[in-house]
Amino acid sequence: MKPFSPRGAKRPYERCTGHKRGHRRPRVRPRRRREVRRGDDFDTRSSRRGAEAQANDGVESGWDGLSELQRLAEFADEGEITLEYVGERPDAVERGHATEGEIDALIRDLADDMGATFVTSDIVQSEVAEAKGLDVEYIAPRVEDVGELTIEEYFDDLTMSVHLKTGVVPMAKRGEIGEMHYEEIRDEVLSEARMKEYVDEIENSAKESPEGFIELSEPGMTIVQFRDYRISLARPPFSDGIEITAVRPIVQTDLDDYEYDDELRNRLLEQQRGVLISGSPGAGKSTFAQAVARFLSGSDYSVKTMEKPRDLQVGPEITQYTELNDQMSLTADSLLMVRPDYTIYDEVRKTDDFEVFADMRLAGVGMIGVVHATRAIDALQRLVGRVELGMIPQVVDTVVYIEAGEVHTVYDVTTEVKVPHGLMEEDLARPVIVINDFETGEPAYEIYTFNRQVVTVPLNDEEEEESTGVDRIARQEIEREIRSIAQGHVDVDLKSPNTAVVYVEDQDISTVIGKGGGRIQDVENRLGIDIDVRTHDEKPNSSPNESGDAGGTTPAASDRSGQIVKPEITSRHIVIPVDGEAGETVEVEADGEYLFTATVGRGGEVQVSRGSAIAEELELAIDRKQQITVTPS
CA 374, chain centre distance (Å): 14
Q: What is the pLDDT of the chain when averaged over all its residues?
A: 79
Average pLDDT over residues 215-244: 90
Look at phi and psi of residue 167 and say left if phi exceeds 0, alpha if psi is from -120 to 50, else beta: left
373: nearest Cα among 295, 277, 454, 447: 277
Answer whether 0.85 is exceeded by the pTM: no
Strand-pair partners of 564: 629
289: nearest Cα among 312, 256, 309, 318: 312
Question: 192: domain CATH number?
Answer: 3.30.450.90
191 and 98 share a domain?
no
Residue 556: the pLDDT is 37
CA 213, chain centre distance (Å): 22
pLDDT digits (tens, 9 = 90+) for 574-615: 888 887 667 787 888 888 777 887 878 877 888 888 777 788
Domain encompassing residue 528 = 466-554
Residue 345: the pLDDT is 96
Q: Are strands 628-632 and 585-590 parallel, antiparallel or unpaired?
A: antiparallel
Q: Are strands 406-418 and 366-372 parallel, antiparallel or unpaired?
A: unpaired
Distance set, CA 40 to CA 51, 89, 119, 327 (Å): 9, 17, 11, 27
23: nearest Cα among 6, 40, 9: 40
Amino acid at 370: V
Amino acid at 211: E
Residue at a domain's end among 458, 491, 514: 458
pLDDT digits (tens, 9 = 90+) for 328-341: 999 999 999 999 99
Q: What angle do CA 547, 551, 557 make, to 5 degrees?
A: 60
The answer to whether residue 7 is domain-embedded is no
Residue 142: the pLDDT is 64
Higher pLDDT: 57 or 536? It is 536
Residue 329: the pLDDT is 92
Measured between its terminal Cα atoms, the distance across the chain in Å is 86
Q: Say how many domains are in the chain.
A: 5
Judged by DSSP in three states, 463 sits in coil
| Cα–Cα dist 15/330, whole Å | 39
The answer to whether residue 261 is domain-embedded is yes
Average pLDDT over residues 169-190: 88
Helix 469-483 vs helix 518-527: crossing angle, to nearest 10 = 150
Strand-pair partners of 397: none
Question: 498: domain CATH number?
Answer: 3.30.300.20
Residue at a domain's end among 442, 458, 474: 458
81 and 27 share a domain?
yes
The answer to whether residue 420 is domain-embedded is yes
pLDDT digits (tens, 9 = 90+) for 240-276: 999 999 988 777 788 888 888 788 899 899 888 999 9
Q: Say if residue 33's pLDDT is above 50.
A: no
The answer to whether residue 1 is domain-embedded is no
Higher pLDDT: 256 or 450? It is 256
